[in-house]
Amino acid sequence: MNGRQRTYSIRISSGRQKLVSVDDFSLQEGKITFLFGESGIGKSLISKAVYGLLDPEELDVTVNGEDYRLFLRRNETRAIQQFGFFVFQEPSTHLNPLLRLEEQLREGSLAGAPSETSILSRLWDSSSYRGVTDLLRVYPKPDRPSGGEKQRVLLTMAFKKIALLKDTPSHARSALYVFDEPSGNLDNHFRDQFLSILCEYHRQFRFTAVVITHDYSMITSLHRHQKDMLSAIAFREVFRKHQRLAVRDFAPSVYTQWADSLQPAVMPRQLSAPIIEFESGARVFGKTLVISKDANGTSPCALSIAPGMIAALKAPSGTGKTTLVKMIMGMSATARFRMTFCGEVLTHQMPRFYWRKHLWGKMMTMVFQHADEALNPSAAVKDIFHGLAEPAIRELLSEWFPDNTDPGFWKKRVRYLSGGEKQRLNLLRSLSLQTDLLILDEPLNGLDFESMTRVLTMLRMNQRKAQAVLIISHNDDVFDRLVPAEQTYYLHAR
Amino acid sequence: MKRFPGSDILWTVIWISGLAAVMAWDSAYLNAPAFAQVQEAFLHSMIAGVVTVVLALCFGWIAGVALYFFEQRRSGWAGVLRFKLDLIRSMPQILGLLTGYVLLTFFLDRGIIATQTGQLLWTSFVISIFLFIEVADVIIERIHHYAASDFVPAMLGCGIGEGRIVNVEILWRNCRAHLLNKAVSVFGMAIFLQCSVDFVVSVGLSTDVNLTNVPVTLGSLLAKIDSKQDVLAMGIVFTDPSYLPNLFVRHLQGVSTAFVIIFTLLCIARISEGIAKRYRL
């Protein structure tokens, strides 16, 4: 049943800067390859090179030692493009702003595919499908539809293209379907829907596909809901080895066993008074933010975290989770709130000076969600840890960047780091501060498996030192196991 | 063109080469005392320009950062500082500079400023007072631009001081190209203002102050009777083109001074454009 294995040796550089150098990137025909690895390591670039999407005028590219211009002319490459589909990570770049979404769903070869209604209704909440038909009549603009909606439209287009295999099953092996971070803008429910549709089509057509992701929790979802498909799936991981990229098999059991081994974080000091109590009912932008311990928000309560405790804050995207933690940090200028922190009552009326002098970096700190924006791009790696002694910084870096043997890394500008490296620095900066309260906004975003384990180990260590931790994360697979149910808070905006 | 990484470098090379060529030509064809004056005038103008840039950068940086912090703290000083900046902005630069020269005559009369260095510094100070607003505007705009980025609250949350974030992380690490570009344009404006005002001053500002007791600059040298005649000689070329070669041997003082001024202003404008292009400002 298994098809042949396509192996690629890829070199990509821009001027003097080497972007990708990988020797052993292989794809099993007729299988879905899940390609993991930290953000920005080069997964997308490798896949684009194989799919024939790179511009040889802009980049110096060779594939299997062959000039990219020649590679693009090969029949194999043409077949990949002609019968396949590439779902881009950033959906806005893929959609034509001059065509309505419904027109794009039926454009070119997609016109011959079965209707998209069933796919759309599964990728959207079917109860609001009427809204989807309205949405399909719009021209895509940068801010409308939302990133998640655009992503769902693109996934629908990809599935329609796959459905064409019904008439031409022989193309299943030669074509390539690439899904670049397909769940980047979707919540866990719709991520599972995507995986479900993908697997259904694969059972029918046995096509070759690549799913690029740094969301390792997809493994759990596949194990839970698509067990019969595991033999048709290859899990691979891109990693850096001596300044070069390499691809290795990733045993899913490594992740599942690790995830299963996660235990709820137990409070070391059961009787400690809460370090923070943030009252429900804070107001911002005309909305009231209600905190509760039940998912429906029927019984509001204060968000309370004791020393050595890990709590989680959950809510659908856009509810205001980040806004709420910014209030806790005293960084939301327009909010109205009240909380008790270390026995002191703090409100929105406290002067900024107070937070700066007594709290920020001393008693509380926060890891911002997007490492790209949370670090000064012009700063060098060593500058991120301003105030720490050089030996301490070197020790932290050697621990968190064990594969990085580049002596110049110390002085490397942040803008030249991969997304995963930035996220590690972003976390490390705050984790090393030993504050009473640590707030983490999507801490596992963009990390590879090893870094994820390292983050959780450090969290445990900090917990033992009585640090209180508040986590916002869509990675329920990890944090539902780590955070006790009674320490999970739900946020509702009313 | 490909030899140079950017047009700013190319125009810097053109400027230096052009000045070197003029000096070489002058050394061959201009009489020694006049040549010495051209050199001295050029040197004084450049020194005054550089000092103006340094002072304008310092004043602009201090004013911009101070305004940002006053506004952050909602301090009443923000309004006072903004009013003062707007007051300076509303005043025509040339009038401001002339006022500075009036003060200079006063200081010279009283012997408060006695040396040529002091006079040059005073001139630079006065010019910088009317140019530092340009720098302050860039500083304020850049701080506001970066203050909206997540890295500022992220650093604040890690306990890094706001002063360091603004001065080092924002201005020093991220805005050097903007400031370099502004410094180059301030240099150009300083040369232009200095030449204009020195020319005006040379016509007569005071019975006690004249060209003999103010350091010679390109502007004042151009206003000297010899240079004026040289400049007038250029007009002859329009009616008698065969007179053109004489400009480059018999009227060198005025011609080379005028050329150095215009050529310098042109090159500085091009350098500034090149920097903006190179760093995509």
Look at residue B240 in the predicted model and tell me its pLDDT. Answer: 87
- Whether B13 is in a domain gets the answer no
Using the Cβ of B27 and the Cβ atoms of chain A, whether some distance falls under 8 Å is answered with no
Instruction: Spell out the alpha helix ranges (H) of chain B.
Output: 7-29, 32-72, 76-90, 93-110, 116-147, 151-157, 162-164, 173-174, 176-203, 218-222, 225-239, 244-250, 252-278
Residue B1: pLDDT above 50?
A: no
Counts for chain A of helices (H) and strands (E), in that order: 18, 21
Q: Say yes or no to pLDDT of A72 above 50.
A: yes
Quick one: closest CA in A to B171, which residue?
Answer: A378
A428 and B CB contact within 8 Å: no
Q: Give the gap in angstroms from C-alpha B138 to the nearest C-alpha of chain A.
A: 18
Q: How far is A263 from chain B (nearest CA, A)?
A: 29
Instruction: Give chain B positions within 8 Å (CB) of A331.
Output: 153, 156-157
Classify residue B136: in a domain, yes or no: yes
Q: What is chain A's mean pLDDT, rounded? A: 89
Question: Are the Cβ atoms of B153 and A429 closer than 8 angstroms?
Answer: no
Flag whether B273 is in a domain: no
Provide, as residue numbers in chain B, all residues whose Cβ is less than 8 Å from the Cβ of A356: 156, 161-162
Residue B3 lies inside a defined structural domain of this protein: no
Residue of B nearest to A434 (CA): B158
Q: Among B68, B73, B156, pick the best mutation site for testing chain A contact (most A Cβ within 10 A).
A: B156
Structure confidence by residue, pLDDT tens digits, B54-90: 999 999 999 999 999 999 888 999 999 999 999 999 9
The answer, for B147 touching chain A at a CB cutoff of 8 Å, is: no
| Residues A400, A431 contacting (CB under 8 angstroms) | no
**Structural domain boundaries, residue B207:** 32-217
Q: What is the pLDDT of residue A73?
A: 94
Q: Is residue B44 part of a domain?
A: yes
**% of chain A at pLDDT higher than 70:** 96
Q: A332 and chain B: CB distance < 8 Å anywhere?
A: no
Query: Which residue in B has a C-alpha nearest to residue A415's C-alpha?
Result: B174
- DSSP lists the bridge partners of residue A61 as A12
Q: Report pLDDT for A128.
A: 63
Q: Does B163 touch chain A (CB under 8 A)?
A: no
pLDDT digits (tens, 9 = 90+) for A293-344: 998 888 999 999 999 899 999 988 778 899 999 999 999 878 899 999 999 9
Residue in B with minimal Cα distance to A351: B73
Question: pLDDT grade, residue B141 (50/70/90)?
Answer: very high
In angstroms and rounded to an integer, the radius of gyration of the C-alpha atoms of chain A is 24
The answer on pLDDT for B205 being more than 60 is no
A13 vs B228, more confident: A13
Question: A291 - beta bridge partners?
Answer: A491
- Residue-averaged pLDDT of chain B: 89
- A366/B157 touch (CB, cutoff 8 Å), yes or no: yes
Distance CA(B26)–CA(B44), nearest Å, equals 18
Chain B residue with minimum CA distance to A387: B160
Any idea what the Cα angle at residue A454 is, between residues A452 and A459, rounded to 5°? 95
pLDDT tens, residue by residue, A230-279: 999 999 999 887 778 889 999 999 999 999 998 887 765 555 789 999 99
Which pTM was predicted? 0.82
Strands of the sheet containing A338-341, edge to edge, are A303-305, A276-278, A338-341, A344-347
Say how many domains are in chain B.
Answer: 1
Cβ contact B157–A379 (<8 Å): no
Given this model, what pLDDT does residue B5 score?
67
pLDDT tens digit sequence for A186-208: 888 889 999 999 999 999 999 99
Does residue B260 belong to any structural domain of this protein?
A: no
Enumerate the residues of chain A whose CB falls inside 8 A of the CB of residue B153: 326, 329, 331, 368
Asked if A24 and A247 touch (Cβ cutoff 8 Å), the reply is yes
Give a yes or no: residue B281 inside a domain. no
Is position B9 within any domain? no
- A408-447 confidence digits (pLDDT tens): 788 889 998 888 899 999 999 998 888 999 999 999 988 9
- pLDDT for res B229: 83
User: Could you give the CA distance from residue B53 to residue A384 in angstroms, rounded to a whole number?
Assistant: 32
- CA distances in angstroms from A78 to A119, A175, A212, B214, B260, listed in the order given: 27, 9, 21, 78, 62
Enumerate the residues of chain A whose CB falls inside 8 A of the CB of residue B156.
331, 356, 360-361
> Which residues face A278 on adjacent strands?
A303, A339
Which chain B residues contact residue A364 at CB under 8 A? 157
Is the CB of A361 less than 8 angstroms away from the CB of B159?
yes
B277 and A CB contact within 8 Å: no
Residue B147 sits in a domain whose CATH number is: 1.10.3720
B164·A386 Cβ contact <8 A:
yes
Contacts of B72 in chain A (CB under 8 A): 352
B248-265, pLDDT tens digit by residue? 888 888 889 999 999 999
Q: Higher-confidence residue: A384 or A90?
A: A384
Nearest to A360 among B73, B157, B169 (CB): B157
